[in-house]
Every structure is written in structure tokens, then in C-alpha cells.
């Protein structure tokens, strides 16, 4: 899966429902993350909503909504249901000059073995 590099973050082309959503790869994140406006924009694709706490990059705990999304296409490959946390990430997008609308973390990376080649800008899933 080819990716673009924005700052130090690998950004992959993703699709949820009929929306194209670029998502960054975060190997240290315990959850997937989507920018808050997608919570409503994804409509019926968002199920099993729960209130969770999320520790931000500034080490503050924030109360957020999390929900299950049935399917996410990453670089044209289908991945099964995953939970996403929804939070305002505008500050992160601005600070890193990122186009991505969120991050893929442990729920994505734990589905299959993977390797990342930053020089070639390729994420390999096995």
C-alpha cells in the first residue's frame, strides 16, 4: 500500500462508505481516530456508540464518543469492523500541516502482520 509522508506521518488513502478519507498511520495509538465532523457525516455507518476517555498528545484526558464502523477500505483493501474515537483534531492538522482526517492505530494494525518501508513509502500487509 503506497502512502504519502506528511511531516513524519504516513498517510493512506481510505474510504468509509462513499467518503474518501485520508488517514495517518500511528503505530503508538491505542485506537483509531476520526475528526469530529465525521461522527455525523458518516450517519448510519456509525454504530454501537459509547462514551470513552482519550489521552491526547498533551497528556490530558478528554471525554469523546467512540463507535464501530463496519468496514474501512485502506488503499483499496477491505478491513473489517473497527472502533473509532471521534475528536476535534484541527489543532493537530494545523500543527503538522496534515491533510489527514484521522489516524489508524492498534485496531487497524492488529488485524494482520505488517511492515513499513519509509524510504519506498510502502505499507505491506501480510
Range of the domain at 51: 4-125
Q: What is the pLDDT of residue 59?
A: 79
- CA dist list (Å): 71 to 7, 59, 80: 28, 30, 5
CA dihedral sign, ordered 49, 68, 33, 21: negative
Q: What is the pLDDT of residue 33?
A: 94
Return the closest-CA partner of residue 8 out of 23, 20, 25.
Answer: 25
Which 3 state secondary structure label does DSSP give 89?
A: coil
For 107-125, write each residue's pLDDT tens digit. Answer: 999 999 999 999 999 999 9
Q: Tell me the three cell numbers of residue 62.
A: 478528554
Q: Tell me the three cell numbers of residue 86.
A: 471521534
For 7-56, write each residue's pLDDT tens digit. Answer: 889 999 999 999 999 999 999 999 999 999 999 999 999 999 999 887 76
Q: Look at the chain and report how many structural domains it folds into.
A: 1
Q: Tell me the three cell numbers of residue 77.
A: 483493501
pLDDT tier at 61, thresholds 50, 70, 90 = confident
Q: Taking phi first (over 0 means left), then psi (-120 to 50 degrees means alpha), and beta for anything else, what does residue 54 get? A: beta
CATH number of the domain bearing residue 80: 2.40.70.10
Amino acid at each position: 500500500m503506497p502512502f504519502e509522508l506528511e511531516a513524519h506521518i504516513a498517510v493512506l488513502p481510505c474510504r468509509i462508505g462513499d467518503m474518501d478519507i485520508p488517514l495517518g498511520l500511528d503505530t503508538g495509538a491505542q485506537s483509531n481516530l476520526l475528526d469530529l465532523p465525521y461522527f455525523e457525516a458518516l450517519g448510519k455507518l456509525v454504530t454501537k456508540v459509547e462514551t470513552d476517555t482519550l489521552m491526547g498528545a498533551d497528556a490530558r484526558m478528554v471525554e469523546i464518543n467512540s463507535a464501530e464502523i463496519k468496514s474501512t477500505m485502506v488503499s483499496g483493501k477491505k478491513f473489517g469492523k473497527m472502533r473509532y474515537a471521534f475528536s476535534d483534531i484541527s489543532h493537530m492538522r494545523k500543527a503538522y500541516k496534515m491533510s489527514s482526517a484521522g489516524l489508524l492505530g492498534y485496531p487497524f494494525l492488529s488485524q494482520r502482520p505488517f511492515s513499513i518501508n519509509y524510504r519506498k513509502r510502502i505499507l505491506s500487509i501480510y
